[in-house]
A = this chain, B = another copy of it.
């Protein structure tokens, strides 16, 4: 069955890259690469009583300062209880500031403090270093393909979130 779909030719283009074996390779590559992707921040966070959830919150608050809790909830795709637990510790520890909204006083707008910014920089420097090294090894064309595949793998809703974040930064 796998070879049946793979041996088709569409407009003269080989579809060998769609075999089950090729797909399996991609799946395993995602698994191993994600491990590397999170390894450096994880190392920094371990022992700080923080984890990946804190890293993600810090990352997106840094990218969109003043974002509301609800907005962050949508981006991260977790429950408010789960996010709240993380935010509470970050506020208690003085890494995140939660300001009551001016227009809508129900909303809390989230900002990183100086200490929060410092940790964000430490974490993202480590993560970017690995990405930069990978990008440099393979060149711009491969990177373009990399992003295309990742975007195509996302759920449509996440695709929109992803594009919105990009637009907000120009």
Which residues of A line the B interface, CB within 8 A?
A: 13-14, 16-18, 20-37, 39, 56, 59, 63, 77, 124, 127-128, 130-155, 158-159, 161-162, 165-166, 169
Known pairs A28-B162, A32-B158, A142-B146; list 4 more (Cβ under 8 Å).
A28-B165, A134-B149, A138-B148, A145-B149
Q: Which of A139, A153, A158 has the most CB of B within 10 A?
A: A153
Could you say which of B34, B145, B165 contacts A145, with CB atoms under 8 Å apart?
B145
Cα distance A52–B1 in the bound complex, in angstroms:
27
Residue of B nearest to A166 (CB): B25
The residues of B that contact A26 with a CB separation of less than 8 Å are: 131, 135, 143, 146-147, 150
